[in-house]
Structure 1
Amino acid sequence: MTRSPLIARRLFDRIEPVHALTYFAPEAKAAFDAAGYRGFWMGYFAGRSAPLGEVPAQVVAAAFYNFSAEHVSRALPSAWTHASPAAALQARQESAVAALNRCGVVDTESVGIAAALLEKAARSADWTGRPLFAANLSLPWPDEPVARLWHAATLLREHRGDGHVAVLLANGIGGRDCNVLHALADRVPREFITFSRQYDDDEWDRCVAGLADRGLVDATGTLSDAGRDLKQRVEDVTDALALPAFDALDDDELTTLFSTLGPITRAVIAGGDIPSATPMGLTRDDLDDDDPHLP
């Protein structure tokens, strides 16, 4: 089967917003607060790491990759003294479904079709070397269609994310450096990264200096040609590693996935919870095109 890795990138732009409501929707913050977690970051780290169980903060920092260990350790393992991983799993799924419902994503035929196709892809994807994907894959599948849609989207985004971490490691880009590289490549504003990934000016400058020592940043503080080439290579290989997750879908199914998932993603974006700039570097310029453009 010969497909362009660009399909994986375009699917990421459509799948990630469906998952990402669990970070940005007010329903999610309210659910984690009600479960007993204290503050946004405790809820975030508890919710996303809950499939791993009560593992040390170092394990979570290793898997998430681009957060500092200190940031993670302020939330874990103390989160589990407030509520269990099971409570976090319940809070994130129920609040995600509530947020999707508010955006108009409800139990319709098209939602059921998109959920079934994403599930088919997720169930067939290779989990080896992908700890967050494997942990989420071990969870029970929900019965309700919108919950199944969200769960499948979560699986496929973590599958891609695990692959992205492997590519960064192979290219010698550490977890803190990769955020800076991402910002310098104009994928996300520096201000958003420094806030969401908690950098001070000294750490940011050290990361820039380290990238400059490798010839990836020039004297003006912007990416050099080598830096732009490396960033593009990381993105291209990430797409290539994510693409086989959709091999289980034939061309007709992939075409149907684009046509059913596109309106769902547009409804989520229209809901207004997900900012235009996110650490994931999502693009929105192609979301109106529901054609996969298969060869």
Structure 2
Amino acid sequence: MSREMWLRFEIYHDVVYAPEASLVAKELGCRGGWMGYFGTRSAPLGAASPEVVTAAFFNFHPQMVAKAVPQVWSVASPERFLQARLEIVDAALRRMLGADVAGLEEMVTLAASAAAGVSPGGRVLGAANQALPPPVEPHLALWQSCSTLRESRGDGHVAALVAAGLAPCEALVLFTADKGLDPAYMRRMRGWSEQEWKEAEAALVDRRLLTGGGLTVAGRELRAEVERWTDMAAAAPWQALGAGPTARLRDLMTPVVQRLSELNESMKVNPMALNPAEIVA
């Protein structure tokens, strides 16, 4: 159930990266889309330093983060970026779903209960999002709960990667090889140089997790183990909510996220996005 719910709240959360994000970032005065990304995603942490953002986000090169942070806080305050991301989500959801979403009020109640079950210990981004006041508008309140669940799961995933002994670039190399993604694109998306990528590959080869032909058996097993640990670490909100209410939220969200996955342009160009085909009614 932890995995099934992730497939749903992740897609609802991802509307914050819809095309409306570029428009809002430009209005704020951000220099490029990445400044808007780092500003909106890290805003719950306050005016965080580049070191804090790098640690929390895990797989970005420190220099890539430093190009945007802390300068982003001179463009707009964290409070303004919190408002901006709700503006993005509001515009994107109204465009993609319209004003009438079946079962929205019930989804808001169930998702809020699940988000309240997030344990803040060791979950920096999850706890920071959980501490934010819920928006008044139901579709935005649902998004905020989904964001708390999403970032909390991400915090647990980072913990699993650390426990597996994977450095940030190594984790990205392993993920890229596992998913058959383009290394050059992934380096560009996270700021790692070709030399740093090669060094990470060499470290994984030394651990017998990677070969010239892709992941070894041990590499595939470690990737699977990391995902299993992540699912286990993300189970508490659903255990607190209960099996019946969780299944009800899953069923209510399924048609909504299927619609979003069809329309969200950012998902279509992002190789790290979820596969909508995995969502079944």
TM-score computed with the length of structure 1 as normaliser = 0.90
CA change 1:252–1:183 in 2 (3 A) is: same
1:20 aligns with 2:8: no
Query: 2 CA distance for matches of 1:264 and 1:187?
Result: 29
Specify the alignment match of 2:105 in structure 1: 112
Query: 2 CA distance for matches of 1:221 and 1:63?
Result: 32
Query: 2 CA distance for matches of 1:90 and 1:187?
Result: 37
- Contact 2:117 2:241 (C-alpha < 8 Å) held by counterparts: no
CA change 1:276–1:8 in 2 (3 A) is: farther
In structure 1, give the amino acid aligned to 2:198. D
CA change 1:279–1:76 in 2 (3 A) is: farther
Query: 2 CA distance for matches of 1:54 and 1:262?
Result: 36
Aligned residues: 281
In structure 1, give the amino acid aligned to 2:46. G
CA change 1:18–1:187 in 2 (3 A) is: farther
Give the alignment's Cα RMSD to 1 decimal.
1.6
Structure 1 window deviating more from structure 2 (129-138 vs 109-118): it is 109-118
Specify the alignment match of 1:269 in structure 2: 261
Structure 1 window deviating more from structure 2 (59-68 vs 191-200): it is 191-200
Q: 1:28-71 CA distances to partner (integer Å, 9 max, x unpaired)?
A: 11112112222101000011111111121001100100001100
Name which of 251, 259, 284 aligns with 2:251. Answer: 259
1:50 aligns with 2:43: yes
- Contact 1:67 1:197 (C-alpha < 8 Å) held by counterparts: yes
More helix by share: 2
- 1:115 is displaced (CA, Å) by 1.9
In structure 2, give the amino acid aligned to 1:17. I
Unaligned runs of at least 5 residues, structure 1: 1-6, 291-295
CA change 1:277–1:188 in 2 (3 A) is: farther
How do 1:69-148 and structure 2 match up within 5 A? 69-104=62-97, 106-148=99-141
Q: Which runs of 4+ in 1 moved over 6 A?
A: none
In structure 2, give the amino acid aligned to 1:241. A
Match of 1:248, SS? helix
Query: 2 CA distance for matches of 1:90 and 1:113?
Result: 24
- Contact 2:4 2:250 (C-alpha < 8 Å) held by counterparts: no
- Contact 2:59 2:190 (C-alpha < 8 Å) held by counterparts: yes
Structure 1 window deviating more from structure 2 (76-85 vs 242-251): it is 242-251
